[in-house]
Amino acid sequence: MDYDLWWLLAVPLVFGAGWLVARADGRAARTRADALPAAYLRGLNFLLDEQHEQAIDEFVDIVRLEPENVALHFALGKLFRDRGETDRAIRVHQNLIGRSDLDPEQRVKALHELGQDYLKAGLIDRADETFQRLGGSTYSERALRQRLQIAQTVRDWQLAIELAGQLQQEQGADRASEIAHCHCELAQAALEQAASQPGEREQHLAQARAAIDAARSADAAHPRSWLLRGQLGELESDPAAALAAWQTMVQVGPAYLALVAREFVAAHEKLDRVAEALAQLETIAAQHPSVDLFGAILDARAKRDGASAALEWGSGALLAAPSILGYDRLNELRLATELSESERNECEFTRTLLRAQVRRLSRYQCGHCGFKARRFYWQCPGCNRWDSYAPLRSEELERG
């Protein structure tokens, strides 16, 4: 049974009280009240057996007999929603709100339930409107959190920043990194637009810069704003600025260098400082093993020293720290070199053999809900948590 429905166990108390009153009122009322607990218990039993449809039938019957029983209307509405019957849930809660005998606390509860019905039904605008009406009530904080969730789902980052700020101010909850992420989402969109719309490039770069600055003001210790500041530097053809930002990112979160390892090498190449990049990548890779760092080092070495020297380095590194993903990168580089036909066949065969494993081990994984994805996410698409992905592939996560 749904955890939230356990409060239904308290409903017999309501019946109990009604039943006692009914006994005092006489025989006719007693007949009706006697029937109620039995029907209620049948409904509860169905619920415990996960037979939701039969439970609903029982509760609908009781509600017909006891229309004034508000607790049951709430239980029924929630059951409908949990079953995906959002139209019926909405009707139940709208009827409740329309009742004149409802006390103010029950009314805000019904509004909150209605907001959740709309949300489940995908009626986002109506859900947001309903939650807005709960401002200043005992459901204010919950409604604000739900509005924040909606704003993030529809990617209205400006509104999300406002709502997270309001929550932080009103509830004293620390939302700094969430606010920084929202600014970063705006920055990332502006950077993408700057790259894809050359005509409005300057305007988008300025927007990105402002959003990155705001993210840093919200939470300077988070690696994401520094990572984006580096990418802004790259787009502005300023590799020194890009590297300065990424160096700060390495201070606050060295493992995140894996996400920009190739750009990190490229910026060093532009400044003729490849040796420095390699030394730093190898130091970080020793502490935070990552196939992305390994691949960036391998390619940079191949470019500087030639493929065979790079392959020799790569084989040695893999012997010290075996990795299927690393071995696949090595084979990829090997295939780009001069090989005899039999060597080439063997190399291609090995890659084919490992393809499914490589695909599985390359995925990123949410540390909270386990959602796996081919690309890295700052906010999990499965559970909506921020920072629940480590910048590591499954193979590295499994190795611990």
294 φ/ψ angles, rounded to the nearest 5 degrees: -60, -45
What letter does residue 366 receive in the DSSP assignment?
Answer: B
Residue 94 CA to residue 110 CA, distance in Å, equals 8
The answer to whether 329 and 295 are in contact (CB under 8 A) is yes
CB of residue 325 vs Zn ion: minimum separation in angstroms? 22
Chain-centroid distance of CA 139 in Å reads: 24
Closer CB to Zn ion, 12 or 382, in the complex:
382
Helix 27-48 vs helix 52-65: crossing angle, to nearest 10 = 160
Residue 380 sits in the site that holds Zn ion (CB under 5 A): yes
Q: Does 335 bind Zn ion (CB under 5 A)?
A: no
Interface with Zn ion, residue 33, by CB under 5 A: no
- Please say which residue, 286 or 383, places its beta carbon nearer to Zn ion: 383
Which residue stretch of 125-133, 192-200, 215-223, 362-370 sits at the interface with Zn ion (rule: CB under 5 A)? 362-370
C-alpha 65/C-alpha 119 separation (Å) is 30
368 binds Zn ion (CB under 5 A): yes
Q: How far is the CB of 388 from Zn ion (least distance, A)?
A: 5
Q: Which one, 363 or 368, has the nearer CB to Zn ion?
A: 368
Asked if 383 touches Zn ion (CB under 5 A), the answer is yes
- Give the Cα separation of 329 and 335 in Å (integer): 10
User: Residue 149 CB, nearest distance to Zn ion (Å)?
Assistant: 14
Q: By CB under 5 A, which span of 20-28, 221-229, 260-268, 374-382 interacts with Zn ion?
A: 374-382
According to DSSP, residue 378 is labeled: S
| Nearest distance, CB of residue 368 and Zn ion, angstroms | 5
- Closest separation in Å from C-beta 275 to Zn ion: 40
User: Residue 133, SS3?
Assistant: coil
Distance of CA 146 to the CA centre of its chain: 14
**Nearest distance, CB of residue 393 and Zn ion, angstroms:** 16
Contact between 381 and Zn ion by CB under 5 A: the answer reads no
* End-to-end alpha carbon distance in the chain: 35
Name the residue nearer to Zn ion (CB basis): 231 or 365.
365
Helix/strand/coil for 283: helix
Using rule CB under 5 A, residue 369 touches Zn ion? yes
| Number of residues this chain uses to bind Zn ion (CB under 5 A) | 7
Residues 161 and 179 sit within 8 Å (Cβ to Cβ): yes
Alpha helices in 8-49 (DSSP H): 11-25, 27-48
Residue 102 φ/ψ, nearest 5 degrees: -80, 135
Given 40, 46, 264, 371, the residue binding Zn ion (CB under 5 A): 371
Does position 364 bind Zn ion by CB under 5 A? no
Interacting span for Zn ion (CB under 5 A) from 84-92, 123-131, 307-315, 376-384: 376-384
Only segment of 48-56, 147-155, 250-258, 361-369 that touches Zn ion (CB under 5 A): 361-369
CB-side neighbour CA atoms (13 Å) of 243: 18
Q: How far is the CB of 378 from Zn ion (least distance, A)?
A: 12
How remote is the C-alpha of 234 from its chain's centroid? 28
Q: Give the residue with the Cβ less far from Zn ion, 27 or 375.
A: 375
Q: Report if residue 382 touches Zn ion, rule: CB under 5 A.
A: yes
To Zn ion, the closest distance from the beta carbon of 394 in angstroms equals 14
* Cβ count near 354 (within 10 Å): 16
Q: What is the distance, to the nearest Å, from the Cα of residue 216 to the centroid of all Cα atoms in its chain?
A: 21
Kindly tell me which of 120 and 368 has the beta carbon lying closer to Zn ion.
368
Q: Which positions touch Zn ion (CB under 5 A)?
A: 366, 368-369, 371, 380, 382-383
